[in-house]
Amino acid sequence: MKATNHALLALLAAASLVAPLSAVPATAYLEPALAARLLSGEDVRTSSVGKTAALALAPKHPAVATLGSALAAEAPDVVVEAIFLWKNPAAIAQDKELAEVYNTLRAIGSLQGIEYWSASRKTMRLFYEYSSLIAGPNDQTPVKDTWLPTLPPVDETLYARQKDLSFGDNRYRIILAHGGDYATQSSVNLTGMSYGIIPVAGAGAVHVRLLVIPTDDGIIFYAVSSAKATVIPGIRGKLEASFGNRAAAVYAWFTRQMASRVH
Q: Return the CATH fold of 19-260.
A: Alpha-D-Glucose-1,6-Bisphosphate; Chain A, domain 4 (3.30.530)
Per-residue model confidence as pLDDT tens digits over 70-79 = 888 888 888 9
**Which pLDDT score, from 0 to 100, does residue 53 have?**
72
81 contacts 55 by C-beta, under 8 angstroms: yes
Q: Mean pLDDT lowest for which of 32-36, 143-147, 230-234?
A: 230-234
pTM of the predicted protein model: 0.88
Give the chain's mean pLDDT: 85
β-pair type (198-201, 168-178):
unpaired
Q: Best-predicted range by mean pLDDT among 20-34, 71-85, 117-131, 145-159?
A: 145-159
Per-residue model confidence as pLDDT tens digits over 112-127 = 999 998 877 778 989 9
Among candidate residues 56, 24, 22, 27, the one with its CA nearest the CA of residue 40 = 27
Among candidate residues 213, 214, 215, 145, the one with its CA nearest the CA of residue 174 = 145
